[in-house]
Amino acid sequence: MEVGLLTPAQQEQMVDLLLALHDHYHAGRALDRVLVRNHLLDNLCGPDSQIRLVTAELGGELLGFAAIYLVYSLVEPEPAHQRQCVLKELFVSPHHRSQGIGLALMQWVARYALDNGCGRIDWSVKSSNARGIAFYESQGARLVSDRLSYRIVREEIGALAGW
């Protein structure tokens, strides 16, 4: 299995994985392939994007991916802790799960984080994703019990902005 940054030759298969990811979160809600492809090329792989898409490929087939980005800490100025890696998404195609693909992606991300001076990797997981939680904990991850996740969506953003 080859794990590395997304290449132009992998982009069409990456669209397939993004469609599968969408179906994972929004089962039965159709999404236009052209819209997803444009989002991948213009935004996720665009010149302003800080996201790195990491793919796992075997025999020319993309099996899964991780999406990561790096940030600097505002509260940890020590060199060993001042940079952090954020895992935005880890997704393995449903028919390729439990084959070591998620582990291979996480190992690549861990090496990338260390190579780039990161002192930690942060991510969130749905509380209902027992399988994902068990996987992350088996890799040594710990629940950050003193943090909560908040969100506002478009309507609330507009209200907050006074629009």
pTM: 0.92
Exposure b/e, 49-59, CB count within 10 A at least 16 = b: eeebbbbbbee
Q: How confident is the model at residue 49 (pLDDT cuts 50, 70, 90)?
A: very high
How many distinct structural domains can be found in the chain?
Answer: 1
The pLDDT value recorded for residue 148 is 87
Report the C-alpha gap between 140 and 1 in whole angstroms.
23
Interval 71-94: pLDDT, tens: 999 998 888 889 999 999 999 999
Q: Which domain holds residue 131?
A: 2-161
Give the CA-trace dihedral at 102, 103, 104, 107, to 10 degrees.
120
The pLDDT value recorded for residue 81 is 87
CATH of the domain at 29: 3.40.630.30
Residues ≥6 apart with Cβ < 8 Å to 2: 56, 57, 58
pLDDT at 8 over 90: yes
The answer to whether the beta carbons of residues 107 and 66 sit under 8 Å apart is no
pLDDT at 102 over 90: yes
